[in-house]
Structure 1
Amino acid sequence: MTWADEMATADGRWRVRVGGVGAVRWYRLEGDGVRRDLPSLAALATAADEHGVDIGELREVEAAAP
């Protein structure tokens, strides 16, 4: 699977990867032993809140060079 975008907290403990096809998007929340695939931004916000992650603090991660 190819992820279109990736965001992380400043300390790098939590990451969100964004994937999709056409207009359909999905999200993966990863960190502290957690890996959750989520079907919507609303579900991501709820899951992040459950784990104490403020999605407002996520910043885009630069893509690694091939």
Structure 2
Amino acid sequence: MTQTTASFMVDGMSCDGCVSAIKRALAAIDGVEATDVNLATREVKVTYDPTRAGVSSLQNAIRGAGYEVS
């Protein structure tokens, strides 16, 4: 299985609840293997299978949870 890691800067996170919301949104995408959300740096790292998920679907999931991706 091929795995790729993508990193995003996310605006709007202010608490552990925000971290949980982003993790839940990303976990719902088929192909996402792991997520690392750093509240202090606003960085979200996602390890995923590129044959099952794409960068745009990851970004859309974060936006759908109510956060801005830059």
What TM-score, normalized by structure 2, do the two folds share? 0.33
Larger relative helix fraction: 2
**Which structure's relative contact order is higher, taking Cα pairs within 8 Å and 6+ residues apart?**
2
| Higher Cα radius of gyration | 1
More strand by share: 1
Length-normalised TM-score, structure 1: 0.34
